Amino acid sequence: MAIQVEVWGEYACFTRPEMKTERVSYDCMTPSAARGLLESIYWHPGLMWRIDRIHVCAPIRFTNLRRNEVKSTLSARSARTVMERGKGELYLCTSDDIQQRAALLLRDVRYVIEAHFDMTSQAAPGDNPGKFQDIVKRRIKKGQFYHQPCFGCREFPAHFRWCEELPPCPKELLGERDLGWILYDMDYTNPEDIRPLFFRGTLRDGVLEVPARESGEVRG
């Protein structure tokens, strides 16, 4: 069942994975970021969100910002080793590990996410699409969420509301714009070998059409 959610905020960073040191955002929201935002509003094991299209409702503008980040990461392998041995250090001391990094962000963003959900095998006998649709719509209209929706990073909160009517396309986005290869989502089929999925994105009159996962347009 389809929904439309309007989301907006001051900053956004949908990081390109090929940029290893400094964060550089894609030109617009990615399907994986849209899915994560919807899951922050309503997640249930009995449904799976599918992003159909993303409407870019504000001109695409970039800005530079310096941010404090930790330079190290904790790997799943390290966590597993500590758990198996029952001893070891499993933390990062931010005061010792912090450094400033530049980031190329989007500013003054506004999108409309069009999505639907599929029922999964984990749905309870009493679950049905109509029930989930009513819950999702009620939560969006009341501004309820499980954790703060954000645009790529926790410090970039996203506001949201139920979208009754699509905003007009900004004149700067009329026509066709090639966005190149965009992160579609992560493939968690094999937990030991999680792989990124990509598709070739084109913005047409401010609309990014998102192909189905099973289509040949999505590449692993």
Split at pLDDT 50, 70, 90, the class of 91 is low
Residue 71 lies in a domain: no
- Which CATH number does the domain housing residue 204 bear? 3.30.70.2660
Query: What's the token pair of residue 32?
Result: 């994986």
pLDDT for 188 equals 87
The closest alpha carbon to 160, from 62, 73, 30, 34, belongs to 34
Q: Could you tell me the residue range of the domain that residue 7 belongs to?
A: 2-65+104-209
The pTM of this model reads: 0.86
pLDDT in tens, 3-38: 999 999 999 999 999 887 789 999 999 999 999 999
Counted domains in the chain: 1
Q: With beta carbons less than 8 A apart as the criterion, state whether 113 and 42 touch.
A: no
Residue 78 lies in a domain: no
Residue 84 lies in a domain: no
Residue 47 lies in a domain: yes
Split at pLDDT 50, 70, 90, the class of 79 is confident
Q: Is pLDDT of 128 > 80?
A: yes
pLDDT in tens, 176-195: 999 999 999 999 888 888 89
pLDDT in tens, 110-119: 999 999 999 9
Of 23-27, 90-94, 105-109, which gets the smallest average pLDDT?
Answer: 90-94
Residue 9 lies in a domain: yes
Q: Which phi and psi angles does 82 have, rounded to 5°?
A: -65, -40
- Average pLDDT of the segment spanning 45-50: 96
